[in-house]
Structure 1
Amino acid sequence: MRYSAQAGGHRYSFDSLAVLMGAATPARSGDELAGCAAGSAAERAAAQRALSEVPLTQFLTEDVIDRDTDDVTRLILAGHDPQAFAPVSSMSVGQFRDWLLAVCARPDASQVLAALKWGLTPEMVAAVSKLMTVGDMIAVSSAITVVTGFRSTIGRPGTLATRLQPNDPTDDPAGVAAVCIDGLLMGSGDAVVGVNPASDSPRTVRRLLDLLDGIRSGAQIPTQTCVLTHVTTTIDLIEAGAPVDLVFQSIAGTQAANEGFGVTIEMLREADEAAHELARGTVGDNVMYFETGQGSALSADAHHGVGGVPVDQQTLEARAYGLAREFNPLLLNTVVGFIGPEYLYDGRQIIRAGIEDNFCGRLLGVPMGVDVCYTNHVEADADDMSTLLTLLVAARTGYVICVPGTDDIMLGYQSLSFHDVLTARRVAGLRPAPEFDSWLDRVGLLDESGRVRETALPAAITALADRSLAA
Structure 2
Amino acid sequence: MKLQTNYLGTVYQFTSLKDLFAKANEEKSGDRLAGLAAETVQERIAAKEVLSQLTLSDIRENPMLPPDTDEVSRIIESQINHPVYQSIKNWSVAELREYILSDTTTGEDLKRLSRGLNSEMIAAVAKLMSNLDLVHAANKIEILTKCNITIGYKGTLPSRLQPNHPTDHVEGMIASLKEGLSYGMGDAVIGINPVDDSVESVKRLLHATHDFISEWEIPTQNCVLAHVTAQMKAIEQGAPADMIFQSIAGTEAANRSFGITASMLEEANDMAKRLGTGSGPQRLYFETGQGSELSAEAHFGIDQMTLESRNYGFARYYDPYIVNTVVGFIGPEYLYNNKQVIRAGLEDHFMGKMHCLPMGVDICYTNHIKADQNDIEDLGVLLTAAGVNFVIATPMGDDCMLNYQSLSYHDVATLRQTMNKRPSPIFAEWLEKMGIFENGKLSKIAGDPTIFSR
Return the offset for 1:66. Answer: 2.4
2:294 to 291, 298, 310: 298
Alignment pair present for 1:10 and 2:34: no
* Counterpart pick for 1:206 among 203, 216, 232: 203
CA distance in 1, matches of 2:203, 2:307: 33
Does the residue aligned with 1:389 lie in a helix, a strand or coil?
A: helix
Q: One-letter code of the match for 1:430?
A: K
Structure 1 residue 279 displacement after superposition: 5.9
Cα distance, 1:241 vs structure 2: 1.3
Q: 2:378 aligns with which of 384, 387, 393?
A: 387
Letter in 2 for 1:299: S
Deviation of the 1:233 alpha carbon: 1.1
- 1:408 and 2:404 equivalent? no
Verify: 1:346 aligned to 2:337, yes or no: yes
- Residue 152 of structure 1: CA displacement? 1.7
The letter for the 2-side match of 1:62 is: N
Write the deviation string for residues 67-113 of structure 1: whole angstroms up to 9, x where unpaired: 221100011111111123344322110111111111xx23x602111
* Counterparts of 1:156 and 1:455, CA distance in 2: 24
Shift of 1:161: 0.4
Q: Distance in 2 between matches of 1:252 and 1:155?
A: 24
- Structure 2 match to 1:361: 352
Quote the Cα distance in structure 2 between the aligned partners of 1:163 and 1:456: 17
Counterparts of 2:442 and 2:386, CA distance in 1: 23
Give the percent of matched residue pairs that are identical in Structure 1 and Structure 2: 46
> Is residue 240 of structure 1 aligned with residue 237 of structure 2?
yes
> Which blocks of at least 5 consecutive residues in structure 1 are unaligned?
305-309, 464-471
- Per the alignment, residue 55 of structure 2 pairs with 55
1:460 to 1:86, Cα distance in 2 relative to 1, 3 A: farther
1:271 to 265, 268, 271: 268
For residues 81-230 of structure 1, the aligned pairs below 5 Å read 81-102=81-102, 105-106=103-104, 109-230=106-227
C-alpha separation between the residues in 2 aligned to 1:458 and 1:267?
39
Matched residue type, 2:159: T
Residue 66 of structure 2 aligns with an amino acid whose one-letter code is D
Deviations 1:127-176 (A, max 9, x none): 00000000011111010111101122111111010000011110011110
State the partner residue of 1:425.
416
Instruction: Report SS of the residue matched to 1:11.
Output: strand
Question: Partners of 2:256 and 2:272 in 1: how far apart?
Answer: 22
Quote the offset at 1:461 in angstroms: 2.1
Q: CA deviation at 1:202?
A: 0.7
Distance 2:399 2:446 in 1: 28
**In 2: Cα distance, 1:384 partner to 1:38 partner:** 25
1:442-457 equivalent positions in 2, closer than 5 A: 442-454=433-445
1:329 counterpart = 2:320: yes
**8 Å contact from structure 1 (residues 444, 458) kept in 2:** no
Task: Return structure 1 stretches of 4+ with deviation > 6 angstroms.
Answer: none
Q: Please provide the CA RMSD for this pair.
A: 1.4
Which 5+ residue runs of structure 2 have no aligned equivalent?
none
Q: Please give the per-residue CA displacement for 1:253-304, whole angstroms capped at 9, x wherever unaligned.
A: 000000000000000000000101136334x421000000000000000000
Question: Could you say what secondary structure the match of 1:374 adopts?
Answer: coil
User: TM-score, normalization: structure 2?
Assistant: 0.98
What TM-score comes out, normalization by structure 1 length? Answer: 0.94
Please name the residue that 1:252 is paired with: 249
Moved more, 236-245 or 396-405: 236-245
Residue type of the alignment partner of 2:257:
G
In structure 1, what is the equivalent of residue 66 of structure 2? 66
Q: How far 1:226 sits from its partner (Å)?
A: 0.4
